[in-house]
Chains A and B, each alone.
Chain A
């Protein structure tokens, strides 16, 4: 595989970070539906937006790796297709948020999509087990060397720090936007 295998050191941790982001969307959505607290909705929306960035980067680095390795940028393989669908679901999640100005209705519909959208994560993970694919099966500590595993873990920690920073900034932005929305509604 040569030098291009180094892309796996960012591709795999980016995918793990995106899965974590969508898991947090699921948690935030469930908590919103249980407690009806807008803070959970804002947290879920922040995680969804940052998760989209990481899943798009997972797809992009996979494509850049695929060209010299498989000879194509893209193929309708089960793992690639299900990951693209995961990206589309969460882009839809953000689109739905723009459909209504009512914060409660927006949060309720987003929470439903956030919970249903998370179902796609185990489908992506298990797609390489369920179907015959070009993409390799899931890696485990038994199937990769400890050097590769430690590099993945190190980059995962780096991405987690970046993820935490981005979600904190994005949540703060959502809070300020909510305050602005409330002020505008008060003026009307």
Chain B
């Protein structure tokens, strides 16, 4: 049972963390672009 929980936990946690990290990188890049364009 613990192996199954570990596998499912790993898969969904990894996907959620990757999606969150990508969104954060995108927000940061968009912020930089906006500040460069106003300069």
Contact = CB atoms under 8 A, between A and B. Distances in A.
Q: Do A and B bind each other?
A: yes
B13 to A, nearest CB: 10
Nearest to A183: B36
Secondary structure of the B side of the interface?
helix
Given A53-B15, A166-B18, A65 B10 contact: no
Nearest to A166: B19
Interface residues of B, number: 22
Contacts of A112: none
Nearest to A7: B7
Interface residues of A, number: 30
Interface of B: 1, 3-4, 6-8, 10-11, 14-15, 18-19, 22-23, 25-26, 29-30, 32-33, 36-37
Interface of A: 3-4, 6-7, 10-11, 14, 50, 53, 56-57, 60-61, 64-65, 67-68, 162, 165-166, 169-170, 172-173, 176-177, 179-180, 183-184
